[in-house]
Amino acid sequence: MSYIHGLRCRECGATYAEDPIYICEDCFGPLEVVYDYEAIARDIGRRHIMDSPLNIWRYQPLLPAQHNGTVGSDVGFTPLFHAQNLGRELGLERLYVKNDCVTPSYSFKDRVVSVAVTKALEFGFDTIACASTGNLANSVAAQAARAGLRAVVFVPADLEEAKIVASSVYGPTVLAVDGNYDDVNRLCSILADQKGWAFVNVNMRPYYSEGAKTLGFEVAEQLGWCAPDHIVVPMASGSLLVKIKKGLDELARVGLIDGVQTRVSGAQPAGCSPIASAFASDAKQVQPVVPDTVAKSLAIGVPADGPYALRTIRGSQGAADAATDDEIIEGIQLLAETEGVLAETAGGVTVAVLKKLAERGTIRPDELTVVYVTGNGLKTQVVLNGRLRAPHQVKPTITAVESALTHTPA
């Protein structure tokens, strides 16, 4: 059963039917799904959700699908844990890590793609496509393989090799575009009008982006049905940040948690920080940039949801900041050494910005803070080359081992 009323323009409020469309015909604003919250509040309680399988579809009434998803039964309910070591390091008593590195294709993109592919099947598409900074292509290729759909994924040609491999292995058509993500996205916007394919983050974007709300729902449920005081979220287009906050607000709106006072802070790489820069300079507009950063998964210079992310951050008394390439790598190492989690560069960005906000007192020591780690470091190992202590080469003898140990700092 679906609680969707259709689509609505986020700018002018014009309404549309539930179709594979994404732009308002009147004002070119982005479209968003509209739900019947009164009916959801009436029909759905915590018990209903807690008795459902541990995947994203336990929140189906608040997702844009007619029924539980046909894909994504293994997506969602990733670990949330009290990060005591990292918290001690940063002076945060109640720091939690939401570890979304451990999804089927090793990034949070499995959530949004599960919703988009479910919707694409509902609409009768036979080809799934995307404009990707890497992780999205991995997830689209994997889920299309499982759903028996054709996949065509577009990525910037300078992507990490591991992310190309982690798409190609599933057998999609991979198009490595000579340009950056913003060029890829522009190309896909034109193709979406011509091809009759479901571009998950173009013509399916109103539905796709809703999948990210599950990162708000889950954290609230895992905290015993309450919203965190502060969250720190990586930003590329800014959609993830906006949707996590929307997810928390919706839980309150349908009576599943108390009012939400969560402060929302955003993290970007310094080499691509249009949203964080707008925040720092108190600007009204987000100015496009040309990305130059090791955090390729966050390298979107023209962020579609930038203005909405800014509004969410400012409206919640949050903050935004950026991390240099060196700080990103230090962030990866800090998380690995304190909590045993190997995050990709986007995780390095988020942990580095978390550290800055904690040191500056923007995050107060007693705030229940959740840091979102959204992608797996096995895909971006290349940035650690030359950064880690090399293994000691030893002969297979006790004396060689003893000698190596005496020359090694503990």
Binding site for ligand PLP (CB under 6 A): 107, 109, 135, 234-240, 297, 344, 346, 374-375
CB of 349 to ligand PLP, least distance (A): 8
By a kind-dependent CB cut-off of 5 to 8 A, residue 380 interacts, out of ligand PLP, Zn ion, none, with none
By a kind-dependent CB cut-off of 5 to 8 A, residue 14 interacts, out of ligand PLP, Zn ion, none, with Zn ion
Cα atoms in the 13 Å half-sphere on the side-chain side of 75 = 29
Q: Which of 226, 223, 254 minimizes the C-alpha distance to 62?
A: 254
| Rounded Cα gap, residues 46 and 17, in angstroms | 30
Question: Which residue, 27 or 157, has its beta carbon nearer to Zn ion?
Answer: 27
Question: Which residue, 3 or 372, has its beta carbon nearer to ligand PLP?
Answer: 372
Angle at 363 between CA 217 and CA 270, to 5 degrees: 90
Instruction: Kindly write down the DSSP assignment for every residue of 313-376, as one continuous string.
Output: HHHTT--EEEE-HHHHHHHHHHHHHHH---B-HHHHHHHHHHHHHHHTTSS-TTS-EEEEE-BB
DSSP 123: H
Question: Which residue, 30 or 234, has its beta carbon nearer to ligand PLP?
Answer: 234
Instruction: Kindly write down the DSSP assignment for every residue of 154-219, as one continuous string.
Output: EEETT--HHHHHHHHTT--EEEEESS-HHHHHHHHHHHHHHH--EETTTTTHHHHGGGGGHHHHHH
Site residues for Zn ion, 1-20, by CB under 5 A, read 9, 11-12, 14
Contact between 93 and 366 (Cβ < 8 Å): yes
Question: Which residue, 32 or 344, has its beta carbon nearer to ligand PLP?
Answer: 344
Question: Which residue, 203 or 297, has its beta carbon nearer to ligand PLP?
Answer: 297
| Near Zn ion by CB under 5 A: residue from 7, 8, 20, 24 | 24
| Rounded Cα gap, residues 364 and 227, in angstroms | 16
Q: Which of 27, 53, 32, 101 minimizes the C-alpha distance to 375?
A: 101
Q: Does 136 bind Zn ion (CB under 5 A)?
A: no
By a kind-dependent CB cut-off of 5 to 8 A, residue 234 interacts, out of ligand PLP, Zn ion, none, with ligand PLP
By a kind-dependent CB cut-off of 5 to 8 A, residue 135 interacts, out of ligand PLP, Zn ion, none, with ligand PLP
CB of 69 to Zn ion, least distance (A): 29
Question: Which residue, 14 or 404, has its beta carbon nearer to Zn ion?
Answer: 14
Strand order in the sheet with 15-16: 15-16, 4-9, 31-35
By a kind-dependent CB cut-off of 5 to 8 A, residue 109 interacts, out of Zn ion, ligand PLP, none, with ligand PLP
Question: Which residue, 60 or 107, has its beta carbon nearer to ligand PLP?
Answer: 107
By a kind-dependent CB cut-off of 5 to 8 A, residue 238 interacts, out of Zn ion, ligand PLP, none, with ligand PLP
CB of 117 to ligand PLP, least distance (A): 16
Under the rule (CB under 5 A), what is the footprint of Zn ion?
A: 9, 11-12, 14, 24, 26-27, 29
